[in-house]
Amino acid sequence: MDYSAFEDTIAAPATIPGTGAITVIRLSGPKALKIAGNIVKCKSKSIEASGANSIRYGEISREDGSIVDEVLVSVFKAPHSYTGEDSVEISCHASSYVASEILRLLCDSGARVAEPGEFTRRAFVNGKMDLAQAEAVADVISSSSSASLKVAMNQLRGGFSTELKDIRERLLEIASLLELELDFSEEDVEFADRAQLSKLLNDVIKHITSLASSFRQGNAIRNGVPVAIVGAVNAGKSTLLNSLIGDDRAIVSDIPGTTRDTVEETMTVDGILFRFIDTAGLRESEDEIERIGISRSLKKLSEAQIVLAVLDSTDSAEVNETIINDIVSKIDPVEQLLMVLFNKVDIIAPNTNVTLLNNNVSSTNSKVIKLYISAKNGLGLDLLKKQLVLSQKDVTLDSDHSIVTNFRHYEALHKAASALEKVHSSVAHGLTPDLLAEDLREALAHLGSITGEVTPDEVLGQIFGRFCIGK
């Protein structure tokens, strides 16, 4: 069946050769079965004569008859494959040498090495998935928590696309009414009831805006809830980052001003992905590089969802008060959660049960979370992690709407909403349909760019170019 839009047959390993037990080499295109049949010899009928969705056992030999590997070949026929084309997947032993030999033999038989993301791009072009779904493939592969997997899966299975389709259909309805008016513009007819139009537009704008505003949450789900670790120099911020992630990631030293740049690490706690950001200590500095580090810290502080203010509890109460007030003045109490951590409790209260101590602290002051910890000895960190997880408990994923995790989608929604705002105000000002129709078309184009209905080739190139080879 000649289904594919492409004439050439592409090949690439879909797994990383040299790791694991097997490597899978993908082959897709009109000649996939013929090329695979050329290099894989099976006992009974050839690969080319195999039925769809079958698995065959065979041997791959070089031109001189020497054997390369024993393999399993999965056969898929158009349009029932990932790419929508005839495809085969060769499972060989994971040696990178074996994989490169097989790839060479495939190319000698007429295949060419696939470009990054080319399999998924073909799936998109052949109508197996839309662009948002294709992008979700990469998100599913890189998902690292139950929430990020759930959102990516919803997008992959078309949940987000269906929601967009509904919005587009409502707008198309309005657009077609307006176009009709345009055709009859000489006769001065008004097909679209302006009050109804205004209400419809309002509903759609609200829907799009709420999708766009889910990006903050979506971004946290995909890249981790941003947690900034801030405070004075030498309070133990870098030690805390290292203890939390269980690795010596940031440099710890008693020389003040050691951390000059921000260091980020992600970690999953109770299925929630957090992104911890160690920052340069906030202080006046003469050092140019440290000053750049401090301004970056302030930026990270403003972007964080959770701020961990680390204090050195051996410092005086006045000193710490000043530091806290400084941090409080820099955060947004509505959008950001502050936790105050009195570090180095091992020095001020040796041999104390830190859990008991903290239970007393939190019960007396429930508004701001305060904890005594020892970043160095790991005291109080369990409680800290518990609080971090608790802070996310209201973040529900079971809403009716999709959650936007992709910046490209966020931007498109934003632009669509502004174009519709223009339509809305034009309606209010009683402007002619030709002016309304233009902005409406623009909004539709932005929405369409998310699912790839109207996406220029160069944008597609950028999106798929970020995929790895074999995807």
Q: Which residues lie near ligand GDP (CB under 6 A)? A: 233-239, 252-254, 258-259, 281, 343-344, 346-347, 374-376
Tell me, what amino acid is at 192?
A
Measured in degrees and rounded to the nearest 5, phi and psi for residue 427 equal: -60, -45
Closest CB to ligand GDP among 30 and 380? 380
Question: Distance of alpha carbon 179 from its chain centroid, rounded?
Answer: 38
The interface partner of residue 455, options being ligand GDP, Mg ion, none and the CB cut-off 5 to 8 Å by kind, is none
Q: Decide if residue 120 touches Mg ion (CB under 5 A).
A: no
- Residue 264's closest CA among 228, 307, 220, 309? 228
Closest CB to ligand GDP among 240 and 338? 240
Q: How far is CA 265 from CA 133, 156, 159, 229, in A?
A: 28, 27, 31, 12
Give least dist CB 238 to Mg ion, A.
3
Give least dist CB 384 to Mg ion, A.
18
Draw the binding track, 184-223, toward Mg ion (x: CB under 5 A; -: no contact): ----------------------------------------
Give least dist CB 283 to Mg ion, A.
12
Give least dist CB 346 to ligand GDP, A.
5
Handedness of CA 445, 451, 454, 455 (dihedral sign): positive
Closest CB to ligand GDP among 130 and 290? 290
Closest CB to ligand GDP among 22 and 298? 298
The interface partner of residue 4, options being Mg ion, ligand GDP, none and the CB cut-off 5 to 8 Å by kind, is none
Report the side by side order of strands in the sheet with 112-113: 40-41, 54-61, 67-76, 87-93, 22-28, 10-13, 112-113
CB atoms near residue 254 (< 10 Å): 6
Burial class (CB in 10 A: 0-12, 13-18, 19+), 42: middle
The interface partner of residue 433, options being ligand GDP, Mg ion, none and the CB cut-off 5 to 8 Å by kind, is none
Closest CB to ligand GDP among 36 and 244? 244
Q: Which stretch binds Mg ion (CB under 5 A): 57-65, 194-202, 238-246, 313-321?
A: 238-246
Q: Which stretch binds Mg ion (CB under 5 A): 24-32, 34-42, 44-52, 231-239?
A: 231-239
Give least dist CB 385 to Mg ion, A.
20
Give least dist CB 360 to ligand GDP, A.
20
Closest CB to ligand GDP among 110 and 257? 257
Closest CB to ligand GDP among 231 and 470? 231
Closest CB to ligand GDP among 104 and 249? 249
Q: Decide if residue 28 touches Mg ion (CB under 5 A).
A: no
Closest CB to ligand GDP among 32 and 230? 230
Regarding beta strands 263-269 and 272-278, do their DSSP bridges make them parallel or antiparallel, or are they unpaired?
antiparallel
- Residue 447 per-residue DSSP state: H
Spatial CB neighbours of 363, under 8 Å, sequence gap ≥ 6 = none
Q: Decide if residue 238 touches Mg ion (CB under 5 A).
A: yes
Q: Given the structure tokens 């993908």, which residue do they identify?
A: 26
- Decide: 336 and 228 in contact? Cβ < 8 Å: no
- Cα–Cα distance for residue pair 444/175, rounded to 1 Å: 9
Spatial CB neighbours of 325, under 8 Å, sequence gap ≥ 6 = none
The interface partner of residue 347, options being ligand GDP, Mg ion, none and the CB cut-off 5 to 8 Å by kind, is ligand GDP
Q: What's the CA angle centered on 455, arms 121 and 409, to 5 degrees?
A: 90
Q: Which stretch of DSSP H or E encloses residue 315?
A: none
- Decide: 210 and 262 in contact? Cβ < 8 Å: no
- Residue 374 per-residue DSSP state: B
Give least dist CB 231 to Mg ion, A.
9
- Cα–Cα distance for residue pair 175/160, rounded to 1 Å: 22
Residue nearest to ligand GDP (CB): 236
The interface partner of residue 344, options being ligand GDP, Mg ion, none and the CB cut-off 5 to 8 Å by kind, is ligand GDP
Give least dist CB 263 to Mg ion, A.
8
Closest CB to ligand GDP among 38 and 259? 259
Q: Which stretch binds Mg ion (CB under 5 A): 101-109, 178-186, 233-241, 337-345?
A: 233-241
- Residue 338's closest CA among 274, 388, 374? 388
Regarding beta strands 40-41 and 54-61, do their DSSP bridges make them parallel or antiparallel, or are they unpaired?
antiparallel
Give least dist CB 251 to Mg ion, A.
7
Looking only at residues 240 through 269 of this chain, which bind Mg ion when binding is defined by CB under 5 A? 259
Give least dist CB 232 to ligand GDP, A.
7
- Residue 418 per-residue DSSP state: H
Measured in degrees and rounded to the nearest 5, phi and psi for residue 150 equal: -60, -45
The interface partner of residue 50, options being Mg ion, ligand GDP, none and the CB cut-off 5 to 8 Å by kind, is none
| Residues in touch with Mg ion (CB under 5 A) | 237-238, 259
